[in-house]
Amino acid sequence: MPSIRPLPVIAIVGGGFSGAAMALHLAKSSGTVRHARIVVFEPRERLGAGLAYSTTEATHRINVPANKMSLYPDDPESFARYLDRTNALAEDADAYDGKGSAYPQRAVFGAYVAAELAPYLSSGAVEHRRVAIAAVERSGSRWSLQDASGATYIADAVALAVSHPMPALPSSLAPIRLHPKVVGDATKPGALDVIGTGDRVLVVGNGLTAADVICGLQERGHEGPILSISRRGMRSQGHAPTVQEPFGDFSSKPSHRASHLLRRVRLALKAAEAEGLTWHAVIDAVRSQGQVIWHSLPLAERRRLVRSVRPYWDVHRFRIAPQVKAVLDEAIATGRLQIRAAYIDAVAERGSAISVTLRDRRRQTLTPMDFDAVVVTTGPAHGGVLSSQPFLARMQAAGLLSACPTGLGIACDLRATALGADGRPSEGLFIVGPLARGTFGELMGLPQVTEHAVFVAAQVQQFLADNQELPAFDRAS
Ligand SMILES: Cc1cc2nc3c(=O)[nH]c(=O)nc-3n(C[C@H](O)[C@H](O)[C@H](O)COP(=O)(O)OP(=O)(O)OC[C@H]3O[C@@H](n4cnc5c(N)ncnc54)[C@H](O)[C@@H]3O)c2cc1C
C-alpha cells in the first residue's frame, strides 16, 4: 500500500502585499496538485492590504499609475483590468490625472489583491490564520510557530513578511510623548482626528507619509498653518510631465564604487537634459537596473550610498500622485504649508501648546515656535526592525536572524534565506519583501516587490524539493 505522506507546510508570517503575493504565486505555480499547505499568519481581516493598502482615507492614493501596479510581473495591466471589470473608480471623481492615468485610492489596490487571492482561499490552497505570531523557533529540521494565545503550528519553511515596523518616535520628542496631540503613528486609522481645524501643526518628516498627512488634514477641513521639517528640507516630487523611457545604462558595466556610480548618474542627468528629458527618466533607469547596480557594490560602498544619498533617492524615486501634488502645491502657494531643513533642538509643553525650538540645518540658528499638534512622519524604522517585535528580537538572540549591515532590514543571502548571527544561512527561513532590500537592492515599489515575491516563492519550493524528497512543483500552470 502506498504511504500517505503529509503535505509540507509553508508558513508565511505577515499577509500584507508581500506575504499575500508570495502565497498567491506559490499556489498558482502548484496548479491543481497541492504540494504543500500554504498558511499565512496575518491578524488583519483581509490578506494583501498590509500597512500601505489598508488605509480607508480617501486622499491616500497609489503613487504610480494603476497600469504600473500588478500582482503579476508578466501581466502589468492586471490591476487596470480589475478597475474596468469592477467599475471601481465610478464614484471617484478625482481618480484620473489630466492625462488619463488612474491613481486609485490605495484601499482599491488592497481590494484587488484580496480579489485575486480569493479563489485560492476558498479552495483551501491558501489558508489565512487571523493571528499574530509571537514566537518562531527551530524544531529539529522543522519550525515551530506560536501565536499570542499559545497555539503552536509546525512548518517546514517559514517566510517572514513583516516589512513595516511601527514608526519610532524620535528621541527629541520624548518629553512630549504623552501629549494628546502628539501623533506618533500617523498611519493608524483616525490618528489625525485629534487635530483641530485651526491647530498649528508641526509635521516631522517630509516624505510620502507627510504628503498623506497634509492631504488628510485638508480633507478634514484643517485651515491652520503647517510646518514640515526634515533633515534636508526636500519635498516629495511628482511624476514626469510626459511619458519618458528610462535613460542611462548603469548595469552593463556596473560601478564598483559609490562615487563612480554617482558621477555616472550626474553625467546621465546632463545628457538627459540635453535631449529634452527630465531627471525622472534617469532615476527610472537607475531604479529598473537597481538590483544589478546594488549587487556590483561591495558592502562598504552600499553603506556609503545609504549614508550619503538616501534622502535624495527617496524623494526622487518615490513620487506622489498628481492629485496629492496639487494639494501640496496649493498649500505651499497660499503659505499654509512651509517646508524647512531643520532639526528639533528642544521641546516642552506650554499649557496645551507644544513649544519647539528648531535648529536650522544650514545656519544652525535656533528658532522657538509654538504648535498645537505634532505629527511624526519619519516612516517605519526598518533599521530597528529586529527590536520592533519581541519574537524577532528572540530570533536574533537565538542566532537565527541578524540585522542587515546596510541598516535597511534583515540580513539574508541571494536565495533570500535569513542569515544568522554567525553569518550562516538559517536554512528554511526566508525574508520576503522590503526587509530583504539590503541584499537585493531597490525593493520597495510594487514592481520590484512583486518580482521578489515570485522569486522567494520559487526559492521556498526549491528548498522543499531539495530537503523533503518531494516531487518537483509543477511550474507549468
Ligand atoms: C504608506 C505606504 C504607501 C505605499 N504606497 C505605495 C504605492 O502607492 N505604490 C507602490 O508601488 N508602493 C507603495 N508602497 C511600498 C510598499 O512598501 C509595498 O508596496 C508593500 O506594501 C510592502 O508590503 P509588505 O507586505 O512587505 O509589508 P506590510 O504592508 O508592512 O505588511 C506586513 C504585514 O505583516 C503583518 N504582521 C506584522 N507582524 C506580524 C506578526 N507578528 N504576525 C503576523 N503578522 C504580522 C502586519 O499586520 C502587516 O499586514 C507604500 C508603502 C507605504 C508604507
Name the residue with the closest Cα to ligand 1, atom 45. 14
Mean pLDDT across 110-122:
97
More confident call, 107 vs 2 = 107
| Nearest one of 127, 137, 133 to 161, comparing CA atoms | 133
Measured from the Cα of 44, ligand 1's closest atom is: 47
pLDDT class of 361 with cuts at 50, 70, 90: confident
Query: Rounded mean pLDDT of the chain?
Result: 92
Predicted pLDDT of residue 311: 83
157 vs 190: CA distance, rounded Å = 37
pLDDT digits (tens, 9 = 90+) for 239-286: 998 889 999 999 999 999 999 999 999 999 999 999 999 999 999 999
283 vs 291: CA distance, rounded Å = 14
Mean pLDDT across 425-445:
95
Check whether 440 has a pLDDT greater than 50.
yes
Pocket around ligand 1: residues whose beta carbon is below 6 Å from it? 13-19, 41-44, 50-52, 62-64, 69, 132-133, 161-164, 389, 433-434, 444-446, 449
Predicted pLDDT of residue 3: 52
Contact status, residue 295 vs residue 441, Cβ threshold 8 Å: yes
Contact status, residue 210 vs residue 228, Cβ threshold 8 Å: yes
423 vs 421: CA distance, rounded Å = 5
Q: How far is the CA of 160 from the centre of ligand 1 (A)?
A: 12
Helix (H, G, I), strand (E, B) or coil at 176: helix
Predicted pLDDT of residue 32: 64
pLDDT class of 30 with cuts at 50, 70, 90: confident
| Nearest one of 56, 326, 352, 338 to 199, comparing CA atoms | 352
Check whether 463 has a pLDDT greater than 70.
yes
Residue to mutate, 51, 101, 375, ligand 1, most ligand atoms under 8 Å from C-beta? 51
Predicted pLDDT of residue 254: 95
Mean pLDDT across 27-49:
90
Helix (H, G, I), strand (E, B) or coil at 292: helix
Name the residue with the closest Cα to ligand 1, atom 20. 17
Here the cell at position 185 is 503613528
More confident call, 1 vs 382 = 382
pTM to 2 decimal places: 0.92
Q: How far is the CA of 273 from the centre of ligand 1 (A)?
A: 35
Contact status, residue 153 vs residue 144, Cβ threshold 8 Å: yes
Measured from the Cα of 20, ligand 1's closest atom is: 25
Check whether 473 has a pLDDT greater than 60.
no
Rounded CA Rg of the chain = 23
pLDDT digits (tens, 9 = 90+) for 187-241: 888 999 999 999 999 999 988 999 999 999 999 999 999 999 998 888 889 999 8
Here the cell at position 18 is 508581500
Here the cell at position 296 is 556590483
| Nearest one of 423, 413, 422, 421 to 463, comparing CA atoms | 413
Domains of the chain, first to last: 3-165+382-474 (3.50.50.60), 171-237+319-376 (3.50.50.60), 258-317 (no CATH)
Name the residue with the closest Cα to ligand 1, atom 43. 132
User: CB burial class (10 A; 0-12, 13-18, 19+) of residue 447?
Assistant: middle
Here the cell at position 413 is 543571502
Check whether 447 has a pLDDT greater than 50.
yes
Mean pLDDT across 432-436:
97
Measured from the Cα of 17, ligand 1's closest atom is: 25
Check whether 380 has a pLDDT greater than 90.
no
Measured from the Cα of 68, ligand 1's closest atom is: 11
pLDDT class of 470 with cuts at 50, 70, 90: very low
Measured from the Cα of 69, ligand 1's closest atom is: 11
Mean pLDDT across 121-127:
96
Check whether 177 has a pLDDT greater than 90.
yes
